[in-house]
Amino acid sequence: MKRFVLFCAAFAVLVSMTFAAEPDFKAIMAKIDEQTNFKATDISAQITVTTRKPSVEDNVLQAQYFRRDTESKFLLLILKPEINKGQGYLKLDSSIFFYDPSSGKFAKQTGSGNFQDSNAKNSDFQNSTLSEDYEISSTGTGTLGKLETWVLTLKGKNNEVTYPKQKIWIDKSTGLLLQSEAYSLSDRLLRTSLYGKYLSVEGKYIAQLTRIQDMLKKDEVTTIKIENFSLQKLPDTVFTQAYLKKVNE
């Protein structure tokens, strides 16, 4: 009898350990959004987008970046190079508008459109919507350098997400996104992105460095560097088409 009780106790511990070891991956994915989205305030920063392509000089672009995650808006105002100065990207609801001061006109773009001549997509500058856009199709573990990671394979919940399939590596200790692979509808690996130098501000995180390696166009790499980060509340007028026109006057 004593042996039976001991066996049952051991079995119960084992079962509970097994279940305890299986984390809630939905919650892990939601935590990525939760940790990187600034719901209580606005964000402003300066970004530098550097694109390296074979046989051409590096293309370096600087922009002022404003983001309001509560309304899923952002505005990017290009400062350098001179030829692109004043051009802007404004995301309102699900639409992204590109403003060109030389024509004075706005053109509608999609999130999956390329940002300028880089390997970044317009959607790379919006707040994280992983748990909203994707469902988990498989899970696993792995290592990235010395870091232990959860590896999740994600499938788009609808046919409007930029990448129908993504594979993401999440730091087990912090719950932050470290790497992602983006696949085409035909299941071709299109790009690998690395997220690093996370800055912690008021319990939230922002990757100060993102490196996007294009896997289709050989040797094309884009890095996005975020600097001069600020959490000051921005006027509502910043996220308007009128603002982009006004700063160009």
Partner 1 sequence: MSVATMALKNLSRQKRRSLLLGGAIAFGLLVITIVNGLSGSLITSLEANISNLIPGHIILRGAEKTSTGRVILTLKESEVFQTAVDKLRVPYSYVSKTTNVQSVALVSDFSTTYQSFSGVNLGQGTYLHDKLTIVEGSLDDFDTADNIVISEGVTKKLNVQIGDRISVQSETITGQQNVVDFVLRAIYKDPGVAASLAGAYAPLDRVNALRDMKPGEFTTFGIYLKDVATADQWGALLLKDLQDKGLPFFARGGLQETQKQYRDQTWTGVKYSLYTLNDILSFIKGIFQTLNLIAFLILLVLFVVIMVGITNTYRMVVYERTREIGTLRALGMQRPEVRNLFLYEAVFLGLGGIVVGFVAGVFVLVVVSWIDLSAWKDFNILLKDNHLQLQVNLGSFALNLIVIAGLTALAALFPARRAGKLTPAEALRTTN
Binding residues for partner 1, per CB under 8 A?
93-95, 108, 110-113, 156, 159-164, 182, 184-186, 188, 190, 216-218, 220
In terms of residues, how long is the chain?
Answer: 249
Task: Supply the minimum distance, in Å, between the C-beta of residue 64 and partner 1.
Answer: 26
Task: Supply the minimum distance, in Å, between the C-beta of residue 146 and partner 1.
Answer: 32
Label residues 71-91 b or e (16+ Cβ within 10 Å = b).
ebbbbbbbbeeeebebbbbbb
Minimum CB distance to partner 1 smaller for 112 or for 200: 112
Task: Supply the minimum distance, in Å, between the C-beta of residue 123 and partner 1.
Answer: 10
CA distance 224 to 126: 13
Minimum CB distance to partner 1 smaller for 74 or for 150: 74
Minimum CB distance to partner 1 smaller for 93 or for 202: 93
C-alpha to C-alpha distances, 199 to 20, 115, 141, 227, nearest whole angstrom: 30, 24, 25, 10
Task: Supply the minimum distance, in Å, between the C-beta of residue 148 and partner 1.
Answer: 30
Minimum CB distance to partner 1 smaller for 110 or for 228: 110
DSSP summary character for residue 231: -
CA distance 126 to 128: 6
CA distance 74 to 240: 10
Task: Supply the minimum distance, in Å, between the C-beta of residue 88 and partner 1.
Answer: 17
Closest CA to 136 of 21, 17, 19, 24: 24
Minimum CB distance to partner 1 smaller for 10 or for 185: 185
